[in-house]
A and B are shown apart, each in its own frame.
Chain A
């Protein structure tokens, strides 16, 4: 019978009751907003006005940030509401949720338990662990701990539980009000324990890997530092490698990163301030500077900018960089990101400010200049002659990386008289077989090169290293043999690529890669005149930049005291002053004669 029914079902028409499957419907807030718009458009009676409205809707005029200031800000849910997690299952009781910012710990354990359950959406929220305990004092005290599985160090927690449940056999104080203090001072061996009565702070601490202990009859919770999540160890730098110098790089753990800097700057004036950013993820951002050296106005400005950020999520320092930089619309980066603690330490000692975002292996340094983006730490670790040689080589690479293809096109298309006759004949001979115009040829090669670079980065594992060889050798050779490009262009693109790789700061190299395409267009259109237009525009736009109040091209444009380490790297004993444009509280780095042994005329005689 069922077979017959199935057969009938197979050959008869049935309307699909669930054709659309799952549809993510608009939230009530969105519907309200739409309704409001509709209502306002209904209010407009004349057809002209309605047309105007439709016109406005079809083209949204961009609003300047300055203009937005005057607008009434759209209310972003504050961290309190954000903290009150709204999972799908708890959405039904969202209305019952207390506003966590105003919540205080109650003396009733049951009440606290219920509050925590609501706040964390228990028992649906599985990685939040709430454990009931009985403290073995006389009389015994009931309590519970709350922590997040995976964020805490289990060995510390074992010690905590042992101390409370096994080794706490002593009389409890008769006053309930002193219970938390008693537990803190007598029973718990942890190194960082605080008393906290507000749920906002308790939740923040638990979310950050601490364990909260609630006790019966006590209106405070004890926060025990049990942070201990899995993390990558200190590794070698992968982006900023050096032959000579420290081989440590930042990791993803904030405290480890700050410790790496503190390890290098053993000075009591080194200050680390934490600022919480992000309404949803509440990431800790460390601002590090030397109290007696960094310009207070600079430190205040850095803190002001970070403090004022209103966004829901910051995962990496790259996001923060975009939110605090002076000119986000310009291609040039005005904040330095580095994975090297030694570089941050050296910058802090010059009077700059380091910014570290929890979870990001790249620290930010502000203010910075373009010349510093062409430096690596290595020039200071090797002999000064080597450092200077590398700097000049890099300066050449800087120009070649964005100008070479544009100059080639200018010469080939407009200024052939510049090319010596033999070379001209060689180029013409090679180009004879190529069917494309020079511009197409250059664009083909440049785009192929960019694809190889991008593919090399994205392809996982072993293949990633081989793609460069495949791309460079096989593709270039095949393109020449297929008469798609001329051999000289392969050399040219390769030199351009190498120059681009020689720029030590990735963001700057990236911006130059984009500039290169502008110069290709300008060179192909107007020859050297086009290149001069591009240069003028680039120079004036770059000269106009500032990084936290410091001109981006200092100390050359504007000219300030040049110092011993801009392009030419003079010997270390000439580095007597800190960069003038940073206006540090103490400009002198070392005395005029830093090698004291030169003045000790009888040096060595006693020995």
Chain B
């Protein structure tokens, strides 16, 4: 009999914060700039479609998880597609999605850190530092990660609130015009497509048992999505209100630009360095969670009793993959062109397929009886 992986347990509050922080991590990266590029002055509306999609995705995932309440999405995939195809799908999800996303995140956070503060440091050093935090977090497990998220989220939200309120003097509501920006199609259709991916519902599907099971999955998921997309919405609104959209398009790291803009008198100005603390911790939580999810998914797919031996090889794979892109533009391109589409497959398509297959199987069984 296969020994069950010990994941620990944490409460709904911690789960919401963990998934919420995981979803909002992209606001510190060049991602908001890409959204401004698509939506123009109506960029603040773009997360609305993504939020609707994410809520639907959570609902679909909860339906899938309820089919087998004691299991995670990994086991249910196997139940639906059979041991061979199911395992192949799971391994594909682990490597192509989680490991690649982890690699892209490590690289993007490292490049951002180089841009902000450590201009002369080698990228491999910053990469390795993020990887080390990821390894530590993944090794200690999702329970410790959730508690860390719960302990730090007030500082993260506090930092964001200070940023938003400090920029109020710079706001210009005319920047929001024209109201629908580059057009309803770009804002709503492309907006939904571009923002739906930040939800990373598959992560929630993998750690569902540590969160308390399928019963409370939907409630946690909805709240986490509201938190994540809410922060994205506020950040984009602040960006477009502070800088007009043609200017916002020029910033590599819009969040950094916003932090640099703060000027509350001669003594309190340019506090962007303080945000590095928030930045670093959010990045570490995100990378650790991705690495943990990848390791647990693979261990569950391969029916291993322990996930920890997989952390180092998967971490190393993330590290190597993260160093493959030539520079920051290359990694942004990988993220924008490939990852954004690829993440939609396990988040939305996989639950739909599982539901369809299980329905067909059930129908077949009923017909047979």
Contacts and interface: CB of A to CB of B under 8 A. Distances in A.
Contacts of B151: 539, 543, 553, 556-557
A599 interface: no
B117 A532 contact: no
Contacts of A540: 136-137, 140, 144-145, 147-148
Contacts of B271: 418
Contacts of A535: 277, 280-281
A341 interface: no
Given A527-B117, A543-B147, A532 B136 contact: no
A536 B146 CA distance: 12
A553 B118 CA distance: 33
A536 B118 contact: no
Interface in A501-535: 526-529, 531-533, 535
Contacts of B266: 420
A528 B280 CA distance: 9
B357 interface: no
Contact of A532 (B132, B146, B270, B281): B281
B277 A532 contact: yes
B329 interface: no
B284 interface: yes
Interface in B258-288: 266-267, 269-274, 276-281, 284-285
A539 B150 CA distance: 11
A445 B43 CA distance: 52
Interface in A430-450: none
B148 A536 contact: yes
Contacts of A551: 147
A415 B147 CA distance: 30
Nearest to A531: B277
Nearest to B273: A415
B339 to A, nearest CB: 24
B280 A557 contact: no
Interface stretch (B8-16, B61-69, B79-87): B8-16
A93 interface: no
A526 B118 contact: yes
A275 interface: no
Interface residues of B, number: 41
A417 B273 contact: yes
A451 interface: no
B273 A418 contact: yes
Interface in B151-167: 151-152
Contacts of B126: 529
Contacts of A54: none
A355 B145 CA distance: 33
A559 interface: yes
Most buried by A among B14, B148, B270, B271: B148
A533 B270 contact: no
Contacts of B284: 532-533, 536
A331 interface: no
Given A417-B273, A529-B113, A536-B285, 19 more contacts: A414-B117, A415-B273, A420-B269, A526-B118, A527-B117, A527-B276, A528-B117, A532-B279, A532-B280, A533-B129, A535-B277, A536-B136, A536-B284, A539-B148, A540-B140, A540-B144, A544-B143, A557-B147, A557-B150
30 contacts: A410-B273, A411-B273, A414-B118, A417-B272, A418-B270, A526-B129, A527-B118, A527-B276, A528-B117, A528-B276, A528-B277, A529-B113, A529-B117, A529-B280, A532-B277, A532-B280, A535-B277, A535-B281, A536-B148, A536-B284, A537-B133, A539-B148, A540-B136, A540-B148, A541-B140, A543-B144, A543-B148, A543-B151, A553-B151, A557-B150
